[in-house]
Structure 1
């Protein structure tokens, strides 16, 4: 895909000038000729910089200017590389002088790994001189071309070019609006609320990304009948990009008076006095639509006339920028979310075929559903694509749109990217650079703020004059939050600490970045201009895939993104050994998640590198050469569970700011001298090695540590006083501290008796927010330290304190009645001797834990008594394996989730409701009968899991279904209930979306009505031996998307109506002893069909060949299945697994080659007579699309046919099992694409 992009390099030049006059550069420019060339370079660059604003403005209309800017950008990057080499050499020499004690070792390292810079400063300067002259020559050519293009220096005060958006009005065609009824009612309710007595007029902001429908929502609200009757005066003003107070005031006045006589008046005072007269004591509604930028001062001036109105007056604001809303709002923002796919489908139908649905064009419905998925809830996208397809009812035309990216349409036709591009044009230069860099992030990837900021920092995008290094990440955080406030990033719905880019915002990033950013997709070629790149990791990544990077020697970012749940991913060694050494300009290298066992020494040649991420790889040690990467700022080794040794000279990495070795649990100890890294800000885990307990003293000098710190290996401390030397109490930026003692392989502590004193000496500062104490078999600690008086402590984790038998006054401190004033999370785990927990809650006013939200107690088998009774803020309660504990549900709580597993009983007397609980797990409760009152109280629960309750015969109490009252139930799981006979409810009337019934051997039926809930989407039933049917029939409106049924031996048939389930995508039928046949299946939608171990199944489903959307088919171990369907298989299959001779023979006769989309083929048995595979007949010719081939149980095969494999040019994985007579493989040249054998 080619993107034209917009070249923005002004902010890059600012950093360049700072580096040109840096001490590091000047130190190595002492030779007159070098100094002269550098001075000339700076002078000419400043001349060019002066015309950049003009060039950046003209580039969109003049391709010659864009080409000039592109060449200038390439040159600027090359200059930056040269200056970085100066800085690196200066740092190298400084280390040689400062580390006299290690001089011989340093010289050895430098000699081994940095020969490319020459043996002495003279040769270095000579080489750099040649590079500077080459740059100067290129720059002279650009100066000449600049004059030819007539680029000039612009006035500083000259207004910036803006892209105008068409003005809006208050009118709206409500018939064309879908899915905003709820949003409209919420905003109207906000307008109907009484105003705050402290403010004269309330401001209600609607915030969201471009194209999401903010203006449309405001129009719906403005024209609603309730709103019409509520206000004396209404006015609508389109503010747009130019926040001109005179113009806006004039527009409001004209709207209020319906008089254009003030059109020629430009005196703000006269206009505001007149407007004040008109609004005095009136109840008015003012809509300010599409505000982009506004200062607090502007707002105070604009709002002056509004303060004389009725206090119930309202101002409704729409904006893309949360910073704008924060200036104006008096109530929280209303963040407008994306539409559902169904609502987008209505919009698409209305604008494409002029109808509300596709009932008259069923051949377009499936295509329309897939198209709206690409719209990602953006109504503008659905409307625009509908317009492009207006009156076109040919499915081929719709397929063209489906198979192409939305922005491929010309921007004049599309309107989607231009609508979003407006937001981009309003960004300052430094944010444009940071945002466009994010185009390398794959779609649907969730990222954290810190993750992105570290990448920006590595690429030098956070440079600021006079900014100290310790402020850089804070600067990056400001940049990030600015992009969040402008709706470029949005919070993930799954994880509130993570962020995402909407797909169309991602497309915008790629559009504005152009060819400087490259995402490897398919066979695309990288541009010579590319500096930042990424690729999505797959299971097998051969060198051939990365061939396009061979000439990208100036690349600065080489980054992989893994897809979730992709298993182990493998990378060709040629990428590490041959490709990476050629990418000598890299600043960022991330190969996270690959099955890499060893890193090459050539990593040390990447002298510009700032960011290395080898997290979740299988490396055992870091090469010593990594200690020569003097520019390295970030080293991420999270989850490297085989890593034992960090580089021995890690102390030489003077610029290292972040070392993450979280969950790298095999590390034997920190390298000596790590305390010399005085600028390091984050060390996730400080590991104290065996025999060097005193090394904890190296923490003393790491005074800038912030965030989270885990200290493990504390069992190796011999002298407890060493703990004092760590000076944790002085590290005020630490928020999260974890202390870990671990027993040796015999289960004993090596220095028993020391740990109690160490625990008392490792005192942190009082502003600590989270503390974790993990003492595994800590024989000498019998009480918890006094932690209750830490005023800012929000989270406390205590684990493995084997001999603590009581939690009492010593835990709370002097003031027991008001301990833990800020604590929100409290967890006790693996405390086998704990018998008593004194909560010291005398009454509700003096109780402890008043802020506690999350309470978890696990594996405390001797704990008696009760939990704290007054927990007003409690949202989550987890109790596991506390066999003697009787759990009472706390009163007056906000309990959202309850999880009780392996306890004696649960009490709830019914005196208060449990309507706040949305998720409940109840498992292995000894006296399950005690749960009746609790279950009846779960009237608004959305998720219920009941497991291991052997006494439970029915989900019924006194003839009433425990779950019948719960109309909110969405997910029901019943597991390992051996006596359960009846569900006890007419489940067809419920609204579950997910239902799992597992290992309930006496369960006879799922629903007394014989029907499944219409809203059910996922059904999973396993090991229910008495179950005869999942339902008598299913309604054609049932929303089922997946069905998994296994080991239900009495089922003989599937319910009628499966072929009417238009949403069904997956059907798994496994281990059915009595199933004879499978009824007709839905011809549209079904993508996965598995039939396995069905011993009496005699025929495949009728019309199997008509399942045109089927992609994955498995037919295995069905011995009575004797015939292959005459019409064959669906030709769109991408994965096929078969293990039956008759099916294989029929498939050969029908022709394997017809499966032209097949990527994965597995054949198990059924080839008893063949001696060659594949057979060289036409029917056995395998499709050339196959990438993964597995063959097994071929007793007589002797040869794998070279001719057959010649037809498999994309084969990556070949699995051969149980071929006892196999003598030879195909010729090597037939397997050149193979990655795994």
Structure 2
């Protein structure tokens, strides 16, 4: 039996609501009095069935006959809903026709589609009526008790008063966390530079949670890693996917490479010489030694101390991977279990404790069996209950029932105790791949499309009710926040198993249904929701499994990589999909399809269509006949030039996501008729009057982000006023953008005045505006929620608005406002202390800016009291001094400001300082700077003082990274005991580095454009160095100046560095035309893994240097004499 529990309470309630007397009258208007009588009979029969439904759902646990009856009833309920949807869609179609004056059509022509509709529905209604009668008759033989449909168990669930999910430390794991951190901190000597550490434990014991807290730990032990990557592996070990996932996580770019070897090469380049931590989460025993050997190959080029942290249920996996430390994660104690339970049950806010409280506590901890997941789930289950109700739940027979599903009893009980409508939503999540990251909005829109959210009262939106559903499932620990992205969510693998058990045959995931020969099993005819993981090339054979699933409502591909480019056979769009006539959800996300067939218009039930990230150029006009459509996702369809002309017909549309559709020239006419729209990512103002900005006016429910682009096409200021942005109080983000800069500015100013948003707006961007003055409403203190403002390329604007009076502003970006010459009182505004909460301030490309007039302070006040980041870039005329009294400043970047003086005397919290091409820097040597990162370029006044005993560098004892360009004097660095990275550019006096002049902590050095450099070092390279890069040093002759070359002893080792001291792993020398050899004794250190030599045309043979070097894994030699590199000698 594949069934879990059947969740019909809320489903039947939905059907009964839709069979209300008013609804039946509407349906009867389509089909006559006979339908009126039959639908009333349906309602009566369903009410009778609903009266015994609660008892049936209880008895299904022990009675297979009841279980089968419920399964048949569920199948029938879906078919009834299809019929009712068909009626609703026909009503919508007629409503649209009426709106467009269809009365002009002849009566004969109008009767044709009605006759077809009536003929089709007659047979369907008769079939449903017969099946409903059979279900009702079988009910009598099951002896079910009449409890009634009035039970709150089936009514619209309401959010409890306190439903926030607690976040906090991992209870009971302090010792475990310190152990794992310790294992990761130790750099064991070895032939390879990385080691594997494993966290081993049973399901639900908290392996992923522990690894996540270690991964996100900010202490010094974890700061040692240059790169940190998290990859979920799962029971289907795919070496290509895992390797690509690691690479994409590092580069933040989609990997388009087809050949696995090239993927590994690219990963090797990213990891070379870097100390990394890679977490491989949930590795199963499907990973064999051969797979692991191939996967680990790129890891070998990393720096000493790199680690792979593996979480697994299987000890054999830890052994196979050669883990040097295996941390066996045990169950937590009863006391710790109780703490976890308390945290998730909100017990601490309930002061009433019964006399048997200690007995209850013992029973609860016993039920949890030391599993944090069980304690968390049970806490979420009892969170909304009075303590008096706990006994009943703890004595539920589900605890003692045994079955073959392997689902923990506490998880089954948690599901069993969900309100019926939440059961449906949770079971639907079974179509999500294991460890798939999803957003709250994504899941809510899918629930809506499949009819899983009960219609709320008129004053509320389905999206809000869906948000409450989501938060409740989150608070019950059925969802949890992702370790990689706090805005995303995941399901624990045991919770995913619970969802699949609950869904039974209703949900079908292609990857879960394979036989012993790895062939996909057929999708059940009873399945309604399906998903699969999209591949690079998805041919028709992949979809044979769906050939019998004619009643599917969901056809949803998921991708496990970022920015994929997958290909789909046209037979899916042309042959398979048109046969799935009951689809509510259809996605072609990230497939390389260029068009949809006209047959898409036949999917009349469709509510959710996703063609985002495809090269599609247009949508077929038949899309406009999808009257039921609620969600249309077109994100990043960069080639899409136009939307369907009759898009105004989609009167049910609620979400139009069309961000990054850059080729779109305008919107379809009369878009204002789509009064249900909540999401309109980008309204492109067209050149004709039909797609004018006034169409936004009737869209009263817009929320989230709104981008108004091509505002230069607004020719009538009255249209801007009629857009009525000020009434749209649910908007959070507004972007106003002009594309052409040839306007006079007068009309643009009037348009901007009319586009004032509601005062609840949080973020505002104005781009390429051509007026001389920004509207008075920008900067008004009435915008109490505004946290971000971005003014970009408003080149004709002469004055900044009074942004200092925005009381909540945290981020401010001003770019390309070349008409502004002075920033002063008009910027701060009149009133209270300006910018009270501002944390980030950036000025960029302000070509005309000449002065920054400081605020006239009252005694005891501070400039920008919360400012942490200040950036001033490309402001060549700006004179004077950067404001000095920025006591909270942590990061200061000043670039290409030739006339500006930077005073850092009072920046005691400063950790990052980047100065490029400025007039000068003022500092005081007595200040104890806490700088970690320092970059100085083209600032002679400061660089000349670096070498002084009382100079600037003498106070930078915490410095980790130093980059200096254009210094004419040598600088003493040995006192910088924590320095790890040194970048040197254009030091004309640098000839070589004495060994004692470099700090012992230095790991990475880059030298560029130092034409006096003849040798990198004398005698030997500093042993701490792991990475050396030298580029464009015209007179460099050798990497090391040997003692022989300067008349010394010749008894030294014929190696650049003593092998036992060598850490050098990466050596790159480019464009050094005088380079003859690496040393007169050319033996390379045995630790070297990566060697690049490029455009060194005088280089003599280095073949001996490569001989017997077993560590080398990457060699790139290009544009050197042939004699210097002979492969036969290597």
TM-score, with normalisation over the residues of structure 2?
0.66
Q: Deviations over 1:778-828 (max 9, x none)?
A: 56432233444344445444443332222333333332x523445455444
Offset, 1:42: 2.9
CA distance in 1, matches of 2:2, 2:580: 24
Aligned position for 2:319: none
CA distance in 1, matches of 2:768, 2:210: 59
CA distance in 2, matches of 1:975, 1:416: 61
Aligned position for 1:474: 464
Offset, 1:646: 1.4
Offset, 1:588: 1.9
Aligned position for 1:519: 509
CA distance in 2, matches of 1:179, 1:896: 29
Q: Deviations over 1:105-131 (max 9, x none)?
A: x999x99xxx9xx93334313312311
Offset, 1:753: 3.4
Aligned position for 1:17: 16
1:959 to 1:700, Cα distance in 2 relative to 1, 3 A:
closer
Aligned position for 1:211: 205
Aligned position for 2:1086: 1056
1:1053 to 1:913, Cα distance in 2 relative to 1, 3 A:
same
Residues 10 and 429 of structure 1 are in contact (CA less than 8 Å); yes or no, is this contact kept in structure 2? yes
Aligned position for 1:603: 600
1:681 to 1:506, Cα distance in 2 relative to 1, 3 A:
same
Residues 1011 and 1034 of structure 1 are in contact (CA less than 8 Å); yes or no, is this contact kept in structure 2? no
Aligned position for 1:243: none
Residues 755 and 778 of structure 1 are in contact (CA less than 8 Å); yes or no, is this contact kept in structure 2? no
Offset, 1:700: 2.1
- Are 2:551 and 1:554 aligned? yes
- Are 2:27 and 1:28 aligned? yes
Aligned position for 1:672: 669
1:463 to 407, 429, 454: 454
Residues 767 and 793 of structure 1 are in contact (CA less than 8 Å); yes or no, is this contact kept in structure 2? no
Secondary structure at the aligned position of 1:642 is classed as: coil
- Are 2:818 and 1:802 aligned? yes
2:352 to 292, 298, 301: 301
2:846 to 831, 837, 845: 831
Residues 1069 and 1093 of structure 2 are in contact (CA less than 8 Å); yes or no, is this contact kept in structure 1? yes
Secondary structure at the aligned position of 1:1004 is classed as: strand
Offset, 1:668: 0.7
CA distance in 1, matches of 2:745, 2:173: 77
Aligned position for 2:88: 87
CA distance in 1, matches of 2:994, 2:126: 83
Offset, 1:856: 4.3
Equivalences for residues 797-876 of structure 1 within 5 A: 797-815=813-831, 818-840=833-855, 842=857, 845-847=860-862, 849-852=864-867, 854-871=869-886
Aligned position for 1:1063: none
1:326 to 1:819, Cα distance in 2 relative to 1, 3 A:
farther
1:656 to 653, 658, 663: 653
- Are 2:554 and 1:541 aligned? no
Equivalences for residues 192-271 of structure 1 within 5 A: 211-212=205-206
CA distance in 1, matches of 2:564, 2:1121: 33
Residues 595 and 618 of structure 1 are in contact (CA less than 8 Å); yes or no, is this contact kept in structure 2? yes
- Are 2:685 and 1:688 aligned? yes
Secondary structure at the aligned position of 1:88 is classed as: helix
1:25 to 1:926, Cα distance in 2 relative to 1, 3 A:
farther
CA distance in 1, matches of 2:720, 2:704: 20
Aligned position for 1:440: 431
Offset, 1:697: 2.1
1:3 to 1:946, Cα distance in 2 relative to 1, 3 A:
farther
1:294 to 1:843, Cα distance in 2 relative to 1, 3 A:
same
CA distance in 2, matches of 1:1000, 1:417: 65
CA distance in 2, matches of 1:527, 1:583: 13
Moved more, 540-549 or 518-527: 518-527
Offset, 1:82: 1.6
CA distance in 2, matches of 1:423, 1:910: 64
Secondary structure at the aligned position of 1:785 is classed as: coil
2:943 to 917, 926, 929: 929
Q: Aligned residue pairs: how many?
A: 869
TM-score, with normalisation over the residues of structure 1?
0.60
Offset, 1:559: 2.3
Residues 1012 and 1031 of structure 1 are in contact (CA less than 8 Å); yes or no, is this contact kept in structure 2? no
Aligned position for 1:965: 978
**Unaligned stretches of 5+ in structure 2?**
155-171, 183-202, 212-334, 358-370, 385-400, 512-517, 770-792, 1041-1054
- Are 2:118 and 1:134 aligned? no
Q: Deviations over 1:927-974 (max 9, x none)?
A: 6627957766666677x4748x243888xx534253x236xx7xx584
CA distance in 2, matches of 1:414, 1:936: 68
Residues 908 and 927 of structure 2 are in contact (CA less than 8 Å); yes or no, is this contact kept in structure 1? no
Q: Deviations over 1:78-107 (max 9, x none)?
A: 22222111111111111222333x777x99
Q: Deviations over 1:844-883 (max 9, x none)?
A: 8545644555544444343333444445665655555545
Secondary structure at the aligned position of 2:533 is classed as: strand
Residues 345 and 381 of structure 2 are in contact (CA less than 8 Å); yes or no, is this contact kept in structure 1? no
Moved more, 634-643 or 293-302: 293-302
- Are 2:321 and 1:320 aligned? no
Aligned position for 2:591: 594
CA distance in 1, matches of 2:882, 2:559: 43
Residues 767 and 792 of structure 1 are in contact (CA less than 8 Å); yes or no, is this contact kept in structure 2? no
1:554 to 1:415, Cα distance in 2 relative to 1, 3 A:
closer
CA distance in 2, matches of 1:663, 1:565: 17
1:741 to 1:579, Cα distance in 2 relative to 1, 3 A:
same
Aligned position for 2:293: none
1:824 to 1:715, Cα distance in 2 relative to 1, 3 A:
farther
Offset, 1:561: 2.7
Offset, 1:702: 2.0
Residues 901 and 925 of structure 1 are in contact (CA less than 8 Å); yes or no, is this contact kept in structure 2? yes
Offset, 1:921: 6.5
- Are 2:820 and 1:764 aligned? no
Residues 729 and 763 of structure 1 are in contact (CA less than 8 Å); yes or no, is this contact kept in structure 2? yes
CA distance in 2, matches of 1:485, 1:649: 43
CA distance in 1, matches of 2:953, 2:698: 56
CA distance in 2, matches of 1:920, 1:1095: 35
CA distance in 1, matches of 2:1028, 2:428: 43
Residues 793 and 823 of structure 1 are in contact (CA less than 8 Å); yes or no, is this contact kept in structure 2? yes
Equivalences for residues 701-720 of structure 1 within 5 A: 701-720=698-717
CA distance in 2, matches of 1:214, 1:571: 34
CA distance in 2, matches of 1:986, 1:154: 87
Secondary structure at the aligned position of 2:848 is classed as: coil
CA distance in 1, matches of 2:905, 2:834: 19
2:609 to 594, 600, 612: 612
Q: Deviations over 1:390-436 (max 9, x none)?
A: xxxxxxxxxxxxxxxxxxxx999998856665654554433333233
Q: Deviations over 1:333-383 (max 9, x none)?
A: xxxxxxxxxxxxxxxxxxxxxxxxxxxxxxxxxxxxxxxxxxxxxxxxxxx
Aligned position for 1:8: 7
1:1005 to 1:429, Cα distance in 2 relative to 1, 3 A:
farther
Secondary structure at the aligned position of 2:767 is classed as: strand
CA distance in 2, matches of 1:631, 1:158: 30
Residues 908 and 928 of structure 2 are in contact (CA less than 8 Å); yes or no, is this contact kept in structure 1? no
Q: Deviations over 1:1077-1122 (max 9, x none)?
A: 365758xxx9xx6555479999xxxxxxxxxxxxxxxxxx998445
Residues 378 and 414 of structure 2 are in contact (CA less than 8 Å); yes or no, is this contact kept in structure 1? no
Residues 668 and 691 of structure 2 are in contact (CA less than 8 Å); yes or no, is this contact kept in structure 1? no
CA distance in 1, matches of 2:17, 2:1018: 72
Offset, 1:660: 1.9
CA distance in 1, matches of 2:910, 2:16: 58
Secondary structure at the aligned position of 1:559 is classed as: strand
Residues 755 and 781 of structure 1 are in contact (CA less than 8 Å); yes or no, is this contact kept in structure 2? no
Moved more, 672-681 or 849-858: 849-858
